[in-house]
Structure 1
Amino acid sequence: MGLHLVGGISSAGRAVPPLDGRPLLIDRAEGPWLWDRDGRRYVDTALGFGATILGHGPEPVIDATTAAIRSGSMPAFAHAGEEAAASALAALTAPLTSVVFTSTGSEAVHLAARIARVATGRGLVAKMAAGYDGWYDDVTLGQAGSAEALMRANSRPRRGGTLLLRYNDFEDVERLFAESDDIAAVLIEPMLANAGCVPAAPGYLAHVAAVARRHGALVISDEVLMGFRLRAGLTAPAEGVEPDLATVGKAIGSGFAVAAVVGRPDVMRAAEGAGVRAGTYSGNPVATAAVLATLAELKAADYPALLARGDRLRAAIVAAFAAIGRSVSTSGFGTVFTLWFADRAPTTYAEAAAIADAELTRRWHLALRRRGALVMPFPFGRLYLSFSHDEPVCAELASVVAASAGDLDGA
């Protein structure tokens, strides 16, 4: 732990256990690789928590952002890059073609909820239990690992203007609107990624959207994590949902601090009036240069090939454990998935919480780290793949997993 940095880190997600008494400190990153302060190289599967889908330091993005820095990184006034980046983003998220940039995903969710409240004149926003929609006060209610996420009480959990909705429970959304007529929006997630990549049940999200609209509420798709993860655009439409608003981040900026709210123009007009917004760094030249360069790369990227590589890796992981007589499973997609030390992946958060094994996950992290791969050490953690994870890199990662599968008892 540092003398001055609280807890030794600025974001809780960076907390990893020491290995042989030494903390993990990263010195540099490139493509699918990370190097620690001792010069050891690792295959990276955390990838900035999903922010570096092109891999670390993609040259077109570095070139664009370097030029933006040299041109002056922080004018107080509007600059042409803002509209250019908004136009590029809107082209990939249509019909959500009105854009407001923020610096973080948490800000984007906060702003989207504010816009929904102003647009509807209502005060409440419902979010998915065990979902992660940022770290601001009200919306932290019911995050994975909390008691509220299981929704075992008779009354619906509430904090301030936020209510919880049980994911993949078709009847609970009907109950939600029967209980209140002051719901401005339902905040959906295409997958409960931070609860271990629990996928939406077939038709569930479309059902939530239909019920919400029947009762005059808006639909916000939080795609800070899942946006641009499966295709160059939003994920919700693939689940049969056309949201009114969506939040994006991570993948749109290749690791630079940028996120955005995108929405229907008629709804987003609220952001021009009573929907107060500000932010010194929102839409700054470096961030918007990163967006422009990243989106150009993603438009040309071969998503099906990457997803296929990821699915083959998932199968190889399951096979490696099966070879030593241990049953494991995975949930998610080829570009983001979770390993479960169980023979069946969970379909609800309750199932995920029941089979999550913090100690076994920690040992798996340490076993892989000894052999040159980095995975999140948390039971609801995820493995990400980037476009820099080509066949040889995936083969190396599969080899590391196979070699370490039998090490868990001694890690």
Structure 2
Amino acid sequence: MTTHLVGGISSAGRALPPLDGKPFITRRSNGAYVWDDAQRRYIDTALGFGATVIGHAHPLVVEAVTAALRNGPMPAFAHDGEEEAARLLTSATRHLSRAIFTNTGSEAVHLACRIARVATGRSIIAKMAAGYDGWYDDVTLGQAGSGDAAMLANARPSRERTTLLRFNDFDDVDQLFAENGDIAAVILEPMLANAGCVPAAPGYLAHVEATARRHGALVILDEVLMGFRTGLGLTGHGIGLEADLATVGKAIGSGIAVAAVVGRPELMALAEEGAVNRAGTYSGNPVAAAAVTATFQVLKNLDYPALMARGERLRHGIRAAFAKNGTTVTTSGEGSVFTIWFGDRPPSNYAETLGMANAAMTLKLHETLRRHGLLIMPFAFGRLYLSDAHTDEVIDAMIDIFKDAAREMAA
């Protein structure tokens, strides 16, 4: 079928495979659910790739952005909502007390790297092999699934302004700084989410941070995915990292396009003084600012421990459902975002994920669950996200569906 929209969708990763010859088209979303164009309801675990932790179309956010639209979505000049959104955001990011809003996480990473380069006078950004830090050219090096991500060659994969680190390899951190004195910053994710929620080894991220500081490089926490998902703040701060800059997005806007860089005041002053160029017609617009402000009114009262506990209960239920039917599965990640693996233990590094990834089984699981009204990502490195709208009753329903799916797949 010929369409005017390339591939039928504007972001390739959002496409679902046809099922029984029919494409999946979303009609609407609310709470823990999405509805297709035939009005069938599904429990959703994609959640806009983690873009909301309070559930789809939360009424407070919808009300706030509707009011902002009616008041005028694009005045071009300063408006009072932007400062309030920044105040609420930075109240939860500790010493990273100043913010610049962008529209996407990719833009936020790009700006954070620009600040780091100007602050240090260096040019190279080091990122984790198989990590995802946006889709701009510089940082697409070594994304999960690429040849560079495996780091099998003798030479370290590099581009003009980007180089790679092997995740969870302590020695490789020391080697990187021994061979390159031009590292402006290292970008850290609390876990390799896009490579299947691979957790950091104990002490690894702290070792990266300490080594970077010893060599005069900055540390950027990329928390576009994980920020405000496990608690009211940055996941990296919760595990003892400090960081000089951080990028956030997704959960701070509950489905409205907004992201931000937060950082130490002395670094963010470089943008205020004009040493770092920043722009963007839509950055910090009234609709985005209203979404952030409304979202934080909800987040500050969100029972994160209960959300994480529900996620852990689901993970246990999934493992038990398959075990009862003679199939061993495991999971990796956190209670509100995790990956299912067909194996007896979760991967500890990217090389292990490549050995464990089972695209055929993951697709079969996706199709089986979809027929029962539960949506998961259809590829092996996909994540299951949960929101506060995934109540105990929803989790019970999900476990029951996994029981049915495990039984059918075993048969």
Instruction: Bin the TM-score by the shorter chain.
Output: over 0.9
| Residue 296 (structure 1) shift | 1.3
Match of 2:184 in 1: 184
Q: Distance in 1 between matches of 2:275 and 2:228?
A: 30
Report what 2:56 is aligned to: 56
Residue 354 (structure 1) aligns with? 355
Query: Which aligned runs of 4 or more in structure 1 are off by greater than 4 angstroms?
Result: none
Take 2:336 and 2:2, find their aligned partners in 1: how far apart are those partners? 34
- Superposed, 1:120-199 pairs within 5 Å as 120-199=120-199
Q: CA deviation at 1:384?
A: 0.4
SS state of the match for residue 100, structure 2? strand
Residues 27-72 of structure 1: CA distance to partner in whole angstroms, max 9, x if unpaired? 0111001110011110000000000111001011111111100110
1:225 aligns with 2:258: no
Instruction: Say yes or no: does 1:74 pair with 2:55.
Output: no
2:281 aligned partner, one-letter code: T
Deviation readout 1:98-119 (Å, 9 max, x if unpaired): 1000000000000000000001
Deviation at 1:2, TM superposition (A): 5.0
Which residue of structure 2 lines up, in the alignment, with residue 376 of structure 1?
377
Aligned to 2:115: 115
In structure 2, the residue matched to 1:3 is 3
Alignment partner of 1:244 is 2:244: yes
Deviations 1:242-289 (A, max 9, x none): 010000000000000000000000111122222111101100000000
Q: Which runs of 5+ in 1 are unaligned?
A: none
Deviation for aligned residue 1:17: 1.1
Please say if residues 51 and 255 of structure 1, whose CA atoms lie closer than 8 Å, have aligned partners that are also in contact: yes
Contact 1:360/1:408 (8 A) holds in 2? no
Structure 1 residue 405, shift from structure 2 partner: 1.1
Cα distance in 1, alignment partners of residues 379 and 109 from structure 2: 24
1:409 Cα deviation from its structure 2 partner: 6.8
Instruction: Name the counterpart of 2:295.
Output: 294
Q: Does 1:399 align with 2:403?
A: no
Q: Distance in 1 between matches of 2:359 and 2:161?
A: 32
Return the offset for 1:216.
0.3
Q: CA deviation at 1:406?
A: 2.9
Contact 1:205 1:239 in 2 (8 A): no
Check whether the contact 2:326–2:410 (CA below 8 A) recurs between aligned residues: no
Instruction: Give deviations 1:57-102, integer Å, cap 9, x for gaps.
Output: 1011111111100110001101011111001101010210110000
Within 1, Cα distance between the matches of 2:227 and 2:397? 27
What's the CA shift for 1:160?
2.0
How big is each residue's C-alpha offset from its partner over 1:334-393, in whole Å with a ceiling of 9 and x where there is no partner? Answer: 100000011110010100111101111111100000000000001100000000000000
Residue 310 of structure 2: aligned partner: 309
CA offset digits 1:216-248 (Å, max 9, x no partner)? 000000000000010010011122210100000
The CA deviation string for residues 111-152 of structure 1, in whole angstroms up to 9 with x for no partner, is 000000001100000000000000000100000011110101
Does the 8 A contact of 1:321 with 1:405 survive in 2?
Answer: yes
Equivalent pairs counted in the alignment come to 410
Q: Secondary structure at 2:256's aligned position in 1?
A: coil
Q: What TM-score do you get using the length of structure 1 for normalisation?
A: 0.99
Normalising by structure 2, report the TM-score: 0.99
The equivalent of 1:386 in structure 2 is 387
Counterpart CA distance in 1 for 2:98 and 2:375 is 38
Whether 2:240 is the aligned partner of 1:212: answer no
Question: Displacement of 1:408 after TM fit?
Answer: 3.2
For the 8 Å contact 1:203–1:240, the answer to whether it is kept is no
Question: 2:365 is paired with a residue of what secondary structure?
Answer: helix
The amino acid across from 1:290 in the alignment is: A
Aligned equivalents of 1:361, 1:15: Cα separation in 2: 15
Give the corresponding residue for 2:278: 277
* SS of equivalent to 2:88: helix
Distance in 2 (CA, whole Å) between partners of 1:381 and 1:95 is: 33
The question of whether the paired residues in 2 share the 8 Å contact of 1:203 and 1:239 is answered with: no
Does structure 1 retain, via aligned residues, the 8 Å contact 2:84–2:293? yes
**Matched letter for residue 304 of structure 1:** P
Q: Which residue does the alignment assign to 1:13?
A: 13
Q: Which amino acid aligns with 1:14?
A: R
Correspondence list, 1:16-31, <5 A: 16-31=16-31
| Secondary structure, counterpart of 2:177 in structure 1 | helix
Query: Displacement, 1:300?
Result: 0.6
| Letter aligned with residue 87 of structure 2 | S
Asked if the contact 2:325/2:410 (under 8 Å) is kept, the reply is no
